Amino acid sequence: MKQGLKNGEILPLMESFYTLQGEGFHSGKAAYFIRLSGCDVGCVWCDVKESWTSSEDQIKSIEEITQMVVTTPSNFVVLTGGEPAMYNLSPLIQKLKESKMFVAIETSGVYPLNGAVDWYTFSPKKFKKPCSEAYVRANELKVIIYNKSDFKWAKEHQTLVNPDCLLYLQPEWGKLDEMVPLIIDFIKENPNWQLSLQNHKYINIP
C-alpha cells in the first residue's frame, strides 16, 4: 500500500460529494469535491478535524475516484482535505484531465504540489510555514480571519504572492459576527481584497 500511495495510484478518500462550491472565486458553481484524509498542519479552528487521520479502509484507486466524478454533469472538481498536497496527486489529476475536468485544489501550501491543476487556492496557516512554490502558483489567496492580528498577517502574504493572484478574506465561522464588520472595514480601506463567505453553511449544503 505504501508504494501505491507514493506513486499516487491509490489515495485515502475520506469522502466525496457533489454540491456547490461555497467559497472564493468559484463560489456558486456545481462542483464535485474529493476530500482526502491526512493532515499535519493542525489548525485549531479546523471544521473537518476528522480528516486529520487516515485509515486503510479509506483507500481508493484513482480509477475508482475518477469514476465517481465523471458520473456528474459538472466538469469542475475540487481536491481538498485534510491537506491534499501531501500526496502524489499527479496520476489522479492526469486521469481527471483526460476526462475533461477542470481541476482545482484547496491547500495550505505547506507541500509542493505534484500535478498541474487549473486553479490553486492557497490558504496559508500560521501553524506550519508554506513552501515558496505556493506563492508562485496561487490563483487565489484565501486568508482566514480569526483574530484582529490576522489582517496584518494577510497583508504580509499579499506582498509574496504573484501579481495576478486574487485576494480573499474569510471570517472563521465561529467568529462570524465579530469578524465580518472588521473585514468589511478593512476591504473598504484596501479594495484589492474581497470578502469570501462560506455560503454552503448558510444554505446548509455539504
Contact 22, 168 (CB under 8 A): no
Distance of CA 156 to the CA centre of its chain: 20
- Please compute the mean of the pLDDT values over residues 92-100 and round it to a whole number: 97
What digits encode the pLDDT tens for the residues 6-63?
899 999 999 999 999 999 999 999 999 999 999 988 887 787 888 788 878 899 999 9
**R_g over Cα of the chain:** 17
- Do 129 and 47 touch, CB atoms closer than 8 A? no
Confidence bin at 1 (pLDDT 50/70/90): low
Query: CA-CA distance, 94 to 28, in Å (whole number)?
Result: 25
Share above pLDDT 70 across residues of the chain, in percent, rounded to a whole number: 100
pLDDT at 7: 94
pTM above 0.85, yes or no: yes
Domains, the chain, ordered by start: 2-139+147-165 (3.20.20.70)
Helix residue ranges per DSSP H, 87-161 = 90-98, 132-137, 150-158
pLDDT digits (tens, 9 = 90+) for 24-40: 999 999 999 999 999 98
